[in-house]
């Protein structure tokens, strides 16, 4: 009589006088121990020259009930019997699979090794930007699984779940996972990189570069708003200096007194605050401080609540937080609309950097503009040209300062510095 779930449930974890075997079908049955442990087994004959019959009777364990259901045991029995007919011994296949699985590296191991040996060495803010998302989404879901056992569908399902809430983060995760796979393959740690041919578009992520620049009329109202609105003076100075220097927000937000040499009139952005520097090649960014902008810098330090930092949180000596600058453009837009009667389209602090660079194209040479931005020159320039171009930058910054002064008065009449001097 075949096995039933009712019989198995009755026999499970019950005391029995002796161990016995209950047959099912397809040479499969259940062995019940004296303590009520139930193990599904497959019975088959396998060649053995040491036996008089030339064969041995093999009892092959399929799995324990209830972890393995009766239905699953029957399906597995058919699969293993098929392999026996093909001349393959299930015992050897199972041992090989267990050995292979033990030798496989887990997702957790690869993520941690890649982070410690590559990411933490080469990338800035690696803990926050890379390790935390990897720990939360990748290790959190696949950490103890062998890397080669995670399917493409498994990776994509996880990324699509992240993308539903955080599209940018899912794209960053995709890049990190592909880099981990590539790194592991080169070291013969894994066989495949499932996401190798998957790009952002395959996840439905379309990257559209921002092209927002502010017109002269918009700049006119931005500067007026900075002068007139109730925004704190230090925040207004921050926005204006971002526009003037065309620097990254972090470079100014985290600036310290020691970074400014007022004897040589040079602002030095240290490696830890700029994007062009790498841990294996420490690079600073140097910008000139022209006489016209020095009072603005002095005012910012005078308003600071710290003896170290140029910009601090309100009523604090702590360096200004990275999110503090996010609402400032919205305050400017709201003031302009309500009090100046002019609508400024939404913009970000980084759009001021793009606006400055666009204007600089009329004031100086491209390579000088790139130095002012704090970009690498690239190509042979980067290899052979180590000149700082401080004098050329200073000349361009002076022209830019007077252009902004003119825009403040009349956005429709741009006066270059030579014309300004002629009028003076």
- One domain, residues 80 and 133: no
- One domain, residues 65 and 187: no
- One domain, residues 115 and 36: no
Q: CB-side exposure of 53: number of CA atoms within 13 Å? A: 6
281 falls in which pLDDT band (50, 70, 90)?
low
Residue 252 contacts by C-beta under 8 Å, 6 or more apart in sequence?
238, 241, 242, 245, 310, 311
Residue 36 lies in a domain: yes
Instruction: Identify the pLDDT of residue 416.
Output: 43
State pTM to two decimals: 0.63
Instruction: Identify the pLDDT of residue 421.
Output: 39
- One domain, residues 36 and 163: no
Give the domain range for residue 193: 107-203
Residue 209 lies in a domain: no
Burial of 209 (0-12, 13-18, 19+ CB in 10 A): exposed
Q: Quick check: 317 pLDDT over 90?
A: no
Residue 230 lies in a domain: yes
Instruction: Identify the pLDDT of residue 301.
Output: 93
- One domain, residues 42 and 139: no
In tens, the pLDDT along 342-370 reads 999 999 999 999 999 999 999 999 999 99
Domain-terminating residue out of 177, 203, 229? 203
Residue 121 lies in a domain: yes
Instruction: Identify the pLDDT of residue 137.
Output: 92
Q: Please give the Cα distance from 114 to 120 (Å, whole number).
A: 9
What does the pLDDT average to over 36-57?
90
- One domain, residues 111 and 94: no
Answer yes or no: are the C-beta atoms of 74 and 83 closer than 8 Å. Answer: no
Residue 346 lies in a domain: yes
Residue 211 lies in a domain: no
Say which range, 3-7, 44-48, 415-419, has the weakest mean pLDDT: 415-419
* Strand 38-47, strand 55-65: pairing: antiparallel
Q: Quick check: 267 pLDDT over 90?
A: yes
In tens, the pLDDT along 178-196 reads 999 999 999 888 888 999 9
- One domain, residues 122 and 189: yes
CATH number reported for the structural domain that contains residue 182 in this entry: 1.10.150.130
Q: Quick check: 42 pLDDT over 80?
A: yes
In tens, the pLDDT along 101-151 reads 556 788 998 999 999 888 887 777 788 888 899 999 999 999 888 898 899
Domain-terminating residue out of 47, 71, 100? 100
414 falls in which pLDDT band (50, 70, 90)?
low
In tens, the pLDDT along 330-346 reads 999 999 999 999 999 99
Q: Quick check: 243 pLDDT over 50?
A: yes
Residue 31 contacts by C-beta under 8 Å, 6 or more apart in sequence?
19, 20, 21, 22, 38, 39, 40, 41, 59
| Number of Cβ atoms within 10 Å of the Cβ of 46 | 15
Q: Quick check: 259 pLDDT over 50?
A: yes
- One domain, residues 79 and 114: no
CATH number reported for the structural domain that contains residue 45 in this entry: 3.30.160.390
44 falls in which pLDDT band (50, 70, 90)?
very high
Instruction: Identify the pLDDT of residue 420.
Output: 36
Q: Quick check: 280 pLDDT over 60?
A: no
Domain-terminating residue out of 203, 227, 262? 203
Answer yes or no: are the C-beta atoms of 230 and 374 closer than 8 Å. Answer: no
Into how many domains does the chain fold? Answer: 3
CATH number reported for the structural domain that contains residue 258 in this entry: 1.10.443.10
- One domain, residues 240 and 180: no
Q: Quick check: 424 pLDDT over 70?
A: no
- One domain, residues 94 and 168: no
- One domain, residues 306 and 371: yes
Residue 130 lies in a domain: yes
Q: Quick check: 214 pLDDT over 60?
A: yes
- One domain, residues 72 and 144: no
- Rank 73-87, 133-147, 239-253 by mean pLDDT and report only the highest: 239-253
Q: What is the mean pLDDT of the chain?
A: 88
Residue 210 lies in a domain: no
């Amino acid at each position: 009589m075949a096995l039933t779930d009712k019989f198995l449930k009755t026999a499970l974890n019950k005391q029995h006088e002796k161990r016995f075997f209950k047959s099912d079908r397809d040479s499969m049955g259940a062995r019940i121990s004296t303590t009520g442990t139930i193990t599904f087994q497959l019975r088959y004959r396998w060649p053995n020259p040491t036996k008089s019959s030339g064969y041995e009777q093999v009892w092959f364990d399929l799995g324990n009930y209830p972890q393995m259901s009766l239905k699953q045991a029957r399906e597995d029995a058919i699969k293993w019997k098929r392999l026996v007919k093909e001349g393959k011994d299930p015992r050897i296949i199972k041992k090989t699979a267990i050995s292979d699985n033990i030798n496989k590296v887990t997702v957790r191991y690869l993520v941690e090794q890649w982070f410690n040996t590559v990411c933490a060495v080469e990338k800035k803010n690696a803990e926050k930007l890379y390790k935390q998302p990897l720990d939360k989404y990748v290790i959190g879901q696949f950490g103890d699984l062998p890397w080669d056992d995670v399917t493409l569908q498994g990776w994509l399902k996880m990324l699509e779940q992240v993308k539903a809430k955080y599209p940018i983060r899912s794209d960053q995760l995709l890049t990190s996972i592909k880099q981990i796979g590539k790194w592991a393959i080169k070291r013969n740690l894994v066989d495949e990189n499932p996401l190798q041919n998957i790009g952002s578009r395959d996840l439905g992520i379309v990257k559209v570069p921002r092209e927002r620049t502010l017109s002269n009329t918009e700049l006119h109202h931005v500067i007026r708003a900075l002068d007139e609105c109730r925004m704190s003076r230090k925040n207004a100075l921050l926005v204006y200096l971002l526009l003037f220097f065309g620097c990254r927000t972090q470079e100014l937000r985290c600036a310290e007194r020691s970074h400014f040499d007022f004897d040589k009139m040079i602002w030095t952005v240290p490696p830890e605050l700029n994007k062009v520097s790498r841990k294996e090649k420490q690079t600073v960014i140097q910008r000139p401080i022209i006489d016209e902008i020095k009072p603005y810098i002095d005012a910012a330090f005078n308003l600071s609540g710290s003896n170290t930092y140029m910009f601090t949180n309100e009523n604090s000596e702590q360096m200004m937080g990275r999110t503090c600058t996010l609402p400032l453009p919205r305050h400017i837009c709201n003031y302009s609309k309500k009090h100046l009667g002019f609508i400024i389209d939404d913009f970000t602090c980084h759009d001021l950097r793009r606006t400055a660079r666009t204007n600089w194209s009329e004031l100086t040479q491209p390579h000088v503009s790139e130095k002012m931005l704090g970009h690498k020159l690239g190509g042979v320039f980067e290899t052979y040209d180590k000149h700082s171009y401080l004098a050329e930058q200073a000349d361009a910054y002076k022209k830019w300062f007077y252009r902004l002064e003119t825009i403040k008065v009349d956005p429709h009449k741009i006066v270059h510095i030579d014309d300004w001097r002629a009028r003076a």
